Structures are given as structure tokens and as C-alpha cells.
């Protein structure tokens, strides 16, 4: 029996990295090295059997130490909107990871990418533009690369305090500026399953980009599902427009509004059949709401 392959997971303490690490840890074919900037934030992964290491992504020697004897890695980078230049800072971190992967001849890099927004609409979406630039840089370095592109994650309804606007007791508006265009969505847990499939089918998936999706719903349809499953709570589409999201003035609000403007254009093509081939039990929105009733109600309070 072949020795387990070591997979390094960057961003192991965030939602994407954590779900990938947890899924890979269930398969004895793999060992997981969870890379984070704060070991305490990945203690649960350590309890599940992951090697947890710290790495300074500004320091290539630190990244090199973290990637010693690694077969492949999952890479997701984070945007710090408190930085004077969030896009450039994130890009430099991704550039460092890519160069070290090239030097060490990592055999498979799976990168969580996004489309570039600025070149299409002219509006800044720095958290997406940075990742699009990193992905291009990785391709230019001829890394053995697979891209995964995520749509809106259902799970963001649990953490985005601006997603719901309380109208009155038990009545809320769902504040996502999509008009009547369907929003592509996915359960974050299904990302881990898709990445597991990619590492299991390296040759098939190499040099491809997979646009993952679990459901497609308008905001009104989402509100109707929430109303049905979370009674007596009732929801309606706020019919939010981009300028209203920008006016919320939270860090990155303009970037988020410009992101939704891009999404509403419909340029992205998410393939449910392809996702189901990789994740046969991919979760639709209704099933996710049913499974997360208590957490959703808690998020409304």
C-alpha cells in the first residue's frame, strides 16, 4: 500500500481551508498539513489528526519550511480590507506561495480563484481581482494547477450581518443586490468534497478550472424558502441595488457591490452537472436551510 500523500492546506483556519482539511483527513490516502498564522485557530484540525504549522506568507523561507515533503496543496488567500492596498498585499502573498511551489516542484496545486472584475466592469472588487491575478501568475509559472471557482456560499448567511434587515418582529428583508437574476450558490462543505475529488483524479483535473454550484435561486426564491422552513419568521427580497450596498460603508462594501454587479451580468457559467459528478450529494439551498435552522435563527438575533 502506497504511503499517504501529504497535502498542505493554506488558510486552514478559514471556512474554505477548514472544510478542505476536514474532508481530506477522512481519507487514509492523505495526510494534512494545516498552514495558518495562528496555531490556536486550527486546534480542532490538530485534534482530528492534522499537522498544524505556522507560516509567514510574506517570508518565502517560512513558506518553504511549511511545504517540506508536500505532494500537493490547496491554496486560498485572504483579503485584508483594513490594509491601505488590500489587492496588492494579497497578490504578493499569492505570488510568494506560487514561487515556492515552483521551486519545490509541488506536484499539484489547487487554487481557489475568482474572475477579475475590474477589466470587465471597470469597478474595483479587490478581493476578486487579487485572486484572478494570482491565478494568472500561477499559470504563467506553469504550475501543475487546478482552479476551483466558488459562487455565493449559503454559509455566508450565517456570518454576514448585512445580509438580513429586520423590518419588525420575525420579519426580515434579504439584502443581496441581484434583481431578478438567479444567484449561483454552494454549501461550503461541498468545496471540501470537490477538492478531495480533484486530488483523487489528478490527471483528469489538471490544468482545468471548475466552477462549482449546488443551486441557482433568485433572491425572492431564497426568501420564500427561508419563510417556509423558518416559520414563524418571514422573509422578502429587499430589492437592494448596488448603490445601497456601497452606502452601507463597511470595509469592502464598494468591492462587494461591484462584485454583485459583475455576478448579475451573468458572465459566469456554473455547471451543476459537472459539480454533481464530483460531488454526487451536493446540497441544494432548501436542504441546507433545513439542516441549519437553529444556526440561521441564531444569526437573526
Confidence of residue 38 (pLDDT cuts 50, 70, 90): confident
> Domains of the chain: which residue ranges?
1-149, 151-187+213-268+283-301
Q: Is 153 exposed, middle or buried (0-12, 13-18, 19+ CB in 10 A)?
A: buried
- The per-residue pLDDT of the chain, averaged, comes to 96
Q: What is the CA radius of gyration of the chain?
A: 19
| Assigned CATH topology for domain 1-149 | Rossmann fold (3.40.50)
> Which has the closest alpha carbon to 301: 156, 164, 155, 187?
164
Please, what is the Cα angle at 81 between 87 and 268, to 5 degrees? Answer: 60
Grid coordinates representing 33? Answer: 498539513
Percent of the chain with pLDDT over 90: 93
Q: What is the mean pLDDT of residues 29-48?
A: 92
Confidence of residue 39 (pLDDT cuts 50, 70, 90): confident
Q: In Å, what is the CA distance from 15 to each residue of 85, 93, 159, 163, 185? A: 23, 19, 11, 18, 15
pLDDT at position 275 is 97
Q: What is the mean pLDDT of residues 43-70?
A: 96
> What is the per-residue pLDDT across 80-139, written as a single tens digit (0 to 9) for each?
999 999 999 999 999 999 999 999 999 999 999 999 999 899 999 999 999 999 999 999
| Whole-number Å distance between alpha carbons of 181 and 176 | 11
Say yes or no: do domains 1-149 and 151-187+213-268+283-301 share a fold. no
Task: Indicate the SS3 state at residue 248.
Answer: coil
> What is the per-residue pLDDT across 262-272, written as a single tens digit (0 to 9) for each?
999 988 888 89
**Parallel, antiparallel, or unpaired: how do β-strands 152-153 and 234-237 relate?**
unpaired
> What is the per-residue pLDDT across 232-251, written as a single tens digit (0 to 9) for each?
999 999 999 999 999 999 99
Q: What is the mean pLDDT of residues 59-81?
A: 97
What residue ranges in the chain does DSSP mark as E strands? 5-10, 30-36, 51-54, 72-75, 108-113, 145-149, 152-153, 164-168, 171-174, 183-186, 209-211, 215-217, 234-237
Residues in a beta bridge with 183: 217
Q: What is the mean pLDDT of residues 32-57?
A: 93
CATH classification code of 151-187+213-268+283-301: 3.90.25.10
Amino acid at each position: 500500500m502506497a504511503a499517504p500523500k501529504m497535502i498542505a492546506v493554506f488558510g486552514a483556519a478559514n471556512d474554505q481551508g477548514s472544510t478542505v482539511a476536514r474532508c481530506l483527513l477522512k481519507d487514509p490516502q492523505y495526510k494534512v498539513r494545516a498552514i495558518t498564522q495562528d496555531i490556536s485557530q486550527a486546534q480542532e484540525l490538530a485534534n482530528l489528526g492534522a499537522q498544524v504549522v505556522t507560516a509567514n506568507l510574506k517570508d518565502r523561507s517560512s513558506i518553504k519550511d511549511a511545504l517540506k515533503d508536500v505532494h500537493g496543496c490547496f491554496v486560498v488567500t485572504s483579503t485584508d480590507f483594513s490594509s491601505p492596498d488590500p489587492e496588492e498585499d494579497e497578490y504578493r502573498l499569492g505570488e510568494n506561495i506560487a514561487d515556492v511551489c515552483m521551486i519545490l516542484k509541488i506536484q499539484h496545486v489547487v487554487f481557489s480563484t475568482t474572475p477579475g472584475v475590474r477589466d470587465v466592469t471597470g469597478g474595483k472588487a479587490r478581493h476578486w481581482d487579487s485572486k484572478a491575478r494570482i491565478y494568472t501568475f500561477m499559470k504563467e509559472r506553469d504550475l501543475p494547477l487546478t482552479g476551483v471557482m466558488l459562487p455565493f456560499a449559503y454559509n455566508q448567511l450565517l456570518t454576514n450581518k448585512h445580509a438580513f434587515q429586520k423590518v419588525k418582529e420575525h420579519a426580515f428583508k434579504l439584502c443581496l443586490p441581484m434583481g431578478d437574476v438567479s444567484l449561483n450558490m454552494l454549501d461550503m462543505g461541498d468545496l471540501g468534497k470537490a477538492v478531495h475529488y480533484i486530488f483523487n483524479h489528478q490527471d483528469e483535473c489538471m490544468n482545468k478550472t471548475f466552477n462549482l454550484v449546488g443551486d441557482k435561486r433568485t433572491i425572492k426564491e431564497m426568501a420564500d424558502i427561508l419563510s417556509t422552513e423558518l416559520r414563524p419568521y418571514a422573509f422578502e427580497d429587499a430589492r437592494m441595488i448596488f448603490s445601497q450596498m456601497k452606502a452601507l460603508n463597511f470595509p469592502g462594501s464598494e468591492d462587494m457591490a461591484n462584485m454583485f454587479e459583475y455576478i448579475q451580468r451573468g458572465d459566469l457559467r456554473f455547471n451543476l452537472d459537472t459539480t454533481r459528478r464530483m460531488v454526487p450529494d451536493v446540497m441544494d439551498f432548501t436542504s441546507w436551510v433545513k439542516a441549519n435552522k437553529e444556526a440561521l435563527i441564531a444569526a437573526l438575533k
